[in-house]
Amino acid sequence: MSDPVLTSRNLTVAATQFEPHIGDRAFNLAAIDRMVRRAASEGADLVVLPELANTGYLFQSTTELATLAESVPDGTSVRFLASLSRDLAIHIVCGLAERDGDSFYNAAILTGPEGYLGKYRKLHLWNDENRYFAPGNLGLPVFDIGIGKVGIAICYDGWFPEVFRQLALSGAELICVPTNWVPMPGSESRDDTMSNILTKAAAHSNGVHIVCADRIGTERGQPFIGRSLIVGPDGWPLAGPASADREEVLLAVIDLSSVPQSRILNSFNHLLGDRRTDVYR
């Protein structure tokens, strides 16, 4: 019997890179609106925004965070993003600060033409995030958006191969990564960033597309490195890396139907099928 013919499932994805302002939600939502509309005007079907894009990143106190964090899905930013998705008939993945009772989460939401679709809470907290946020407690959900299946990770999650592997095993074909990458020790003289190296390795070793949207600028003394990128399931960039310091929109057309074939390396080897689950979990 002949192999089935796979129907192409093309999706134009965008990574948006800009500079949120700490504590200025009105400014940040205006910037999000501008960047998303720009990406949509250039053909994007799905747009990824940076981590904590609606608030900025470096909180000075829990009190400050409490004034900016919002409930999901009822908060101002979520409703704004849902409305923007409906207006433009696109999907959006955006990092934001979530409040749930007395707890705060570094979260990301997914919206689509039908509105709010779901959320993810960052599992691995970086540095002072541990002072203000609770670790994620929703696991690693995978969302079916009709044309394909989407997973979400946030920034430092990318340093843990288990995150991408679990999402791939759960059916994700595209992983969206809102991020606020900072310089890593020893990286000053390198041509490539560790964040980009890890992203390319994760895409290849799991046979998935990955879209990383980073911020730029310096906030309360902390610089961010930009270098957003879109990577195909073979591990090579389809767009980017972006600059270190400029506002940019990266776009790439990806074919989600290519994922199964990308995991077959030869007649004997399959990236997920070769896992030695008798030895490791």
The total number of residues shown for the chain amounts to 281
* Cβ–Cβ < 8 Å for 73, 107: no
Model confidence over 220-274: pLDDT tens digits? 999 999 999 999 999 999 999 999 999 999 999 999 999 999 999 999 999 999 9
In angstroms, the first-to-last Cα distance of the chain is 35
- Dist CA 91 CA 111 (whole Å): 5
- For the chain, which domains are there? 10-262 (3.60.110.10)
- pLDDT grade, residue 1 (50/70/90)? very low
Look at residue 99 in the predicted model and tell me its pLDDT.
98
Residue 232 burial (CB < 10 Å; 0-12/13-18/19+)? Answer: buried
Which contacts of 188-197 are long-range, i.e. CB under 8 A and separated by 24 or more positions? Answer: 193/225, 193/227, 193/241, 195/158, 195/225, 195/227, 196/227, 196/229, 196/237, 196/241
Q: Give the lowest-confidence range in 50-59, 168-177, 178-187, 206-215.
A: 178-187
Mean per-residue pLDDT for 7-30? 95
User: Which of 94, 155, 176, 212 is the catalytic position?
Assistant: 155
Model confidence over 64-93: pLDDT tens digits? 999 999 999 999 999 999 999 999 999 999
Look at residue 76 in the predicted model and tell me its pLDDT.
96
Asked if pLDDT for residue 178 goes beyond 60, the answer is yes
Model confidence over 184-231: pLDDT tens digits? 887 766 789 999 999 999 999 999 999 999 999 999 999 999 999 999
User: Which of 51, 70, 98, 247 is the catalytic position?
Assistant: 51
pTM: 0.95
Q: Which amino acid is at 133?
A: F
- Dist CA 138 CA 150 (whole Å): 15
Does residue 200 have an active-site annotation?
no
Averaged confidence pLDDT in the chain: 95
Asked if pLDDT for residue 5 goes beyond 60, the answer is no
User: Which of 19, 119, 122, 212 is the catalytic position?
Assistant: 122
Asked if pLDDT for residue 2 goes beyond 50, the answer is no
Does residue 149 have an active-site annotation?
no
- pLDDT grade, residue 4 (50/70/90)? very low
Residues in Cβ contact with 152 at an 8 Å cutoff, skipping those fewer than 6 apart: 93, 108, 110, 120, 141, 143, 175, 176, 177, 178
